[in-house]
Structure 1
């Protein structure tokens, strides 16, 4: 089995179950823009991809309105939404064991870097990560985020990397960067979406991530 030394983790839907805060902030932003979307189930499919992309593709907003809506979203998310969130079970144990094995851990997320860093601190898992690569204010694509994360490791063989995420953006971005991937099905992407993206591996639980990476959980 390939040994991966640098592991890139998505945040929402991979490390944390974050949809409540994201959806409430999404609803707040939409209301401010005159759009009423009271049903959370209509929005959960949008957890993960860049907010700007959703506003443009699904709500037909023009750039100026996208910028306004993003501002409203970030306002509520910073105040409340980022804390309406919880870690998936056994994630801290997985991170602890990986660090014991001297793995380099990176968060690669479509969230603003500052928000991602705040969430990691809130859950007291920030010390496990060597880098946090997030989106800029304009909203990078996930492929761009992954490419930026790899810049921290010049000269390292692509075989040393693996991306772990729950949406097709994670898997496609990894493939475009030339690295392997694990698609996790316990997050926000459907099994069909993830299979169609053609990941290197599929994991249905954190325990299966452990088996793929060939590590043992800390009890």
Structure 2
């Protein structure tokens, strides 16, 4: 099995469950735009992709409307929404063990970097990550391909075979494909098995425990010997 020295983690739907904070902030933005959506489940598609893309695809907003909606979204998200969030079970221990075993951990998220940093500090797991890369507040560098490429450039002296991207949506896997690195699609987040299967990640995994088993396989064997 390959030894992935650099492990890239998506944030929303992979490290934490942000449903309440994201969907309520989208709901707030839509209300400010004159649209009422009572069912938060209908807004789950906003978890993962760039906000700009979701407002365009789900509500056919034009560019000025998208920018206005994103501004409204951030009004609520920066004060309330980012904290309406819970870590998936066993994430802290997974990060600790990966760090202890010499892996370099990186966040690769479409969420603005400043929000990602604040969320990781809130959960007290920021110290596990060597680098945190997200989008810019001005709407640039939102695609996973751009984000992963930025990370690869940061570690430009390392072979691509030492990197793997872990995420719950097709955008994570597409970004990995486009930049030539391996990927893990996790089914416990917000991407369906069908979505992940169709995009063909290197590995599909169903739980945080399975991530550990896959990435620390050599360690598991040593511990059993």
The aligned residue for residue 64 of structure 2 is: 64
- 2:223 maps to which residue? none
The CA distance in 2 between the partners of 1:83 and 1:57, in whole Å, is 26
Deviation at 1:45, TM superposition (A): 2.1
Give yes or no for the alignment of 1:142 onto 2:149. Answer: no
Matches within 5 A, 1:2-21: 2-21=2-21
Deviation at 1:56, TM superposition (A): 1.0
Q: Distance in 2 between matches of 1:173 and 1:214?
A: 24
Q: How does 1:45-64 map to 2 (within 5 A)?
A: 45-64=45-64
Q: Which residue of 2 aligns with 1:200?
A: 202
1:156 is matched with 158
TM-score of the pair, normalised by structure 2: 0.94
Alignment of 1:64-103 (within 5 A): 64-103=64-103
Whole-angstrom distance in 1 between the partners of 2:148 and 2:36: 34
Cα deviation for residue 214 of structure 1 reads 2.1
Write the deviation string for residues 9-38 of structure 1: whole angstroms up to 9, x where unpaired.
000000001111000000000110111111
Q: CA deviation at 1:48?
A: 0.6
Root mean square deviation of aligned Cα: 1.1
Comparing 193-202 with 143-152, which one deviates more in the overlay?
143-152
Unaligned runs of 5+ in 2: 221-225
User: Whole-Å Cα distance in 2 between the matches of residues 110 and 68 of structure 1?
Assistant: 18
Deviations 1:64-105 (A, max 9, x none): 111010001011000100000010010000000111111110
Residues in 1 aligned to 2:134 and 2:51: alpha-carbon distance in whole angstroms: 13
SS of the residue corresponding to residue 12 of structure 1 reads coil
Match of 1:41 in 2: 41
User: Partners of 1:205 and 1:190 in 2: how far apart?
Assistant: 14
**Structure 2 CA distance for aligned equivalents of residues 34 and 199 of structure 1:** 39
SS at match of 1:149: helix
Q: Choose the corresponding residue for 1:190, options 186, 189, 192.
A: 192
Equivalenced residues, count: 217
2:87 and 2:171 map into 1 onto residues whose CA distance is 21
Q: Supply the distance in 1 between the matched residues of 2:55 and 2:89 (Cα, whole angstroms).
A: 31
Measure the CA separation in 2 of the matches of 1:37 and 1:151. 41
Q: Separation in 1 of the partners of 2:118 and 2:64?
A: 28
Q: 163, 167, 170: which is aligned to 2:169?
A: 167
Deviations 1:182-208 (A, max 9, x none): 000000001100111100001100011
